Structure 1
């Protein structure tokens, strides 16, 4: 069960519902995410979900959008704080190899998000906007073609790690990012 029930005028209830949705997705997958599971996890009455959202699809769409926004902000911050391209290569390596950008729980949710995007145009559009924001963040330090290649690695390497269940080779990741930065113009 989700815990104590909240007061009716809870200004954070909608956000708690979105957070609970991601927790349910991580534990059960999108295909077994229900209004009831979300409400129980959020610790809110079931009617709160229909008060704040018109459908389960709307809840899922907004939860995935919130995840994309949060991860995009972390991505942007890491790259904005890098003073030059070499520091940006190190920042990208940290994004790929560290838990600061994407946790194993978030990788699980991302797999669900990408699968759901195949059948939900709103989530597909959220993924596209996220991709473009990521490339914009990279463009501070890298040319457009390198941004595309590096962004694919940032997405792909953590997914491979999730399936391989072995730590990434930080030196290989860093060398790959530097090689792309130096060679793709």
Structure 2
């Protein structure tokens, strides 16, 4: 007689966490339902029950990996405070993120860049940009907010790909160049006010 299945409401989350560990240790190419099931210590059928395809599993993993930076930025309150040095705060947050567990940062970017070859991941990869740009739009115009996100992405990727050292002062200076100085929200880079002319 078969044993009744034990209710395990956290199993789906354990599978996602296991997928992140597998990708962190072996890369995307090491991810399979079988390797994740072994890492999560669940039956193989559980992974396919919760995630019919590897793309579905990668979407869940990328969405979870995306949460950190945007949430910390939002919770800090810095982007909404007009008295805060926004460039300095962004540079500081980037420094804390990169100085954290390096494997975790590399994992986030590996999942993020996997969207180049896996179209199912592209909307989720875009979510990070959208969330951070929305937070930054509280202090600047949407175009500048997206430019700031692109610059932060570029700086972080350069540090990771060259195994370089993050230079917070350099990051602050470059970010500050994109921000209008001494103007309220609505000012465009270079001093022109949006809609003027």
Q: TM-score, normalised by structure 1?
A: 0.83
Is the 2:133–2:146 contact (alpha carbons within 8 Å) kept by the matching residues of 1? Answer: yes
Q: Is the 8 A contact 2:15 2:36 kept in 1?
A: yes
Structure 1, residues 100-140: CA drift from partner, whole Å, max 9, x if none? 79742233223322332123222101112321221101101
> What residue ranges of structure 1 are gaps of 5+ in the alignment?
1-6
- CA drift at 1:99: 2.6
Deviation, 1:145, is 2.7
TM alignment of 1:13-162, pairs within 5 A: 13-79=11-77, 83-84=81-82, 86-99=84-97, 103-162=101-160
Structure 1 position 11 matched with structure 2 position 6: no
The structure in which a higher percent of residues are helix is 1
Q: For the aligned residues, what is the CA RMSD?
A: 2.4
**CA offsets 1:46-105 (integer angstroms, 9 cap, x no match):** 221122121222111211122223443223223556522633322211122123797422
CA contact (8 A) 2:74 2:135 kept: yes
1:54 match: secondary structure: coil
* Contact 1:97–1:158 (CA under 8 A) maintained in structure 2: no
8 Å CA contact 1:150–1:180 kept in 2: the answer is yes
Tell me which moved more, 165-174 or 64-73. Answer: 64-73
Q: How many residues align?
A: 179
Counterpart Cα distance in 2 of 1:70 and 1:114: 13
- Structure 1 ranges of 4+ moved more than 6 A: none
**TM-score, structure 2 normalization:** 0.79
Q: CA deviation at 1:21?
A: 0.6
After TM superposition, give the deviation of residue 180 of structure 1 in Å.
Answer: 1.6
Which residue in 2 is equivalent to 1:170? 168
**Ranges in structure 2 where 5+ consecutive residues have no aligned partner:** 182-188, 192-197
